[in-house]
């Protein structure tokens, strides 16, 4: 890996993804305050996560093929402008409906960075180097959701919850300028593909290796998203912590993801992808059980919520770069399309699961633990799919 060419791309990738990551989690500690200000229930504001994630996922199906034809840079800039528009809608129209509509528009915009974050590294690297690059990006990206809830909680306590969205607008504007000035196109003109969307999607989706890794990523991320959507309600409304305390408790599990991504990068040249996936699934299952078991006895505990999530996040940190690399590597000519499907389906699935979770009152951690456990079962099924439907070489790699 050429470090001189990697670092600028690494930092810009983290910056553009950080906008979307912070938008997804910055408001969580402020949910009770937002609900009181807007005259709605805290539980109903779990729908904000779904309104953001569903368009974030769907828009990537458009951005990916467009980036294979036009290049990565113009698609990124278009997406960032859409994000800024959505943030202004939230600020300028003071009601709950505008919050949902603005979140939807934000998701439409940040979907560009979501798709490109998987694509630009594939443009430059392959094999174990690609897995290492994806792991390092995952490690870098985790700092934005670490910072966002703490920042959101403190801004709410010092000013009001809308201050967090003004911060997002400023951060998004700075990121847009940085991409405009410093982002060097990673897809040269001679490697660009004609816009044959149906054929490209058929080619990528018809690959069993891609199918299995896609299901793995969808289920893993859905478990993360449900925890993020439910944590503010359980810690704030059920356990009664204030916004600052919720923000601190919310971020405590996230270093687990950093550790998992570090493990993935460290072990990518020593262990096969299959062995890395087994390790990740083990952590996912243990984390879900730590949350589920107290819930079976009607217990809501900050220790079990935070501890279980931390272990689950370790597994996610291992699985995310491993499954992403295995899914996208076979498609150098359709990297944008493959990245779009991964990001789109991953976030669409997570959005639908959180929307379903929002329709049930989150009064205890049994529901959260049960949903996360179901997601672990789906991850295990995806691994079984890869074992039985991959090529002989891919089966040996497990």
The pLDDT of residue 62 is 84
The pLDDT of residue 395 is 40
pTM for the whole structure: 0.70
The pLDDT of residue 2 is 55
The CA-atom distances, in angstroms, between 21 and each of 27, 83, 168, 249, 331 are 11, 12, 11, 18, 26
Structural contact between residues 354 and 322, judged by C-beta atoms closer than 8 angstroms: no
The pLDDT of residue 194 is 67
The pLDDT of residue 396 is 36
The pLDDT of residue 279 is 94
The pLDDT of residue 390 is 57
Task: Please name each of the domains of the chain with its CATH number.
Answer: 3-184+195-397 (1.20.1250.20)
Nearest CA-CA partner of 33 in 303, 252, 241, 226 = 241
Structural contact between residues 233 and 46, judged by C-beta atoms closer than 8 angstroms: yes
CA torsion, ordered 246, 249, 250, 253, to nearest 10 deg: 180
User: Between helices 208-232 and 243-251, what is the axis angle to 10°?
Assistant: 150
C-alpha 284/C-alpha 265 separation (Å) is 18
Q: Which two tokens stand for residue 390?
A: 């991959």
The pLDDT of residue 316 is 92
The pLDDT of residue 391 is 42
150: three-class secondary structure by DSSP: helix
Dmax of the chain from CA atoms? 61
The pLDDT of residue 76 is 92
* Backbone phi and psi for residue 301, each to the nearest 5 degrees, phi listed first: -135, 130
pLDDT along the chain (398 residues), means of 10: 65 86 83 85 77 85 82 91 94 87 93 83 74 73 74 86 92 92 80 70 84 90 84 79 78 85 83 88 95 90 91 92 84 76 78 73 80 93 83 41
């Amino acid at each position: 890996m050429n470090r001189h060419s990697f670092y600028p791309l690494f930092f810009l990738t983290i910056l553009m993804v950080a906008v979307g990551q912070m938008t997804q989690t910055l408001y969580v500690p402020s949910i009770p305050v937002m609900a009181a200000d807007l005259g709605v229930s805290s539980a109903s504001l779990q729908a904000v996560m779904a309104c953001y994630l569903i368009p974030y996922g769907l828009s990537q199906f458009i951005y990916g093929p467009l980036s294979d034809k036009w290049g990565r840079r113009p698609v990124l800039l278009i997406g960032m402008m859409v994000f800024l528009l959505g943030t202004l809608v939230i600020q300028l129209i003071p009601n709950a409906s505008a919050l949902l509509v603005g979140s939807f528009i934000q998701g439409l915009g940040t979907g560009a960075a979501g798709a490109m974050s998987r694509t630009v590294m594939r443009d430059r690297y392959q094999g174990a180097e690609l897995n290492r690059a994806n792991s390092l990006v995952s490690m870098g990206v985790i700092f934005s959701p670490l910072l966002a809830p703490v920042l959101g909680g403190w801004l709410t306590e010092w000013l009001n919850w809308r201050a967090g969205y003004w911060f997002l607008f400023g951060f998004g504007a700075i990121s847009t300028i940085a991409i405009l000035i410093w982002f060097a196109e990673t897809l040269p003109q001679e490697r660009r593909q004609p816009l044959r969307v149906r054929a490209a999607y058929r080619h990528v989706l018809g690959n069993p290796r891609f199918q299995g890794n896609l299901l793995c990523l969808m289920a893993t991320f859905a478990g993360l998203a449900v925890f993020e959507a439910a944590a503010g309600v359980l810690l704030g409304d059920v356990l009664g912590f204030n916004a600052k305390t919720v923000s601190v408790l919310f971020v405590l599990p996230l270093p687990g993801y950093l550790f998992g991504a570090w493990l993935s990068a460290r072990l990518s040249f020593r262990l096969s992808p299959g062995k890395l996936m087994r390790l990740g699934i083990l952590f996912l299952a243990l984390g879900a059980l730590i949350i589920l078991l107290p819930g079976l006895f009607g217990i809501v505990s900050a220790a079990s919520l935070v501890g279980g999530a931390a272990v689950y996040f370790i597994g996610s940190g291992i699985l995310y770069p491993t499954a992403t690399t295995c899914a996208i590597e076979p498609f150098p000519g359709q990297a944008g399309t493959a990245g779009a499907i991964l990001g789109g389906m991953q976030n669409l699935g997570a959005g639908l699961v959180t929307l379903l979770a929002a329709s049930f009152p989150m009064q205890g951690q049994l529901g959260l633990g049960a949903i996360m456990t179901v997601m672990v079962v789906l991850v295990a099924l995806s691994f079984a799919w890869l074992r039985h439907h991959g090529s002989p070489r891919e089966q040996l790699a497990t």
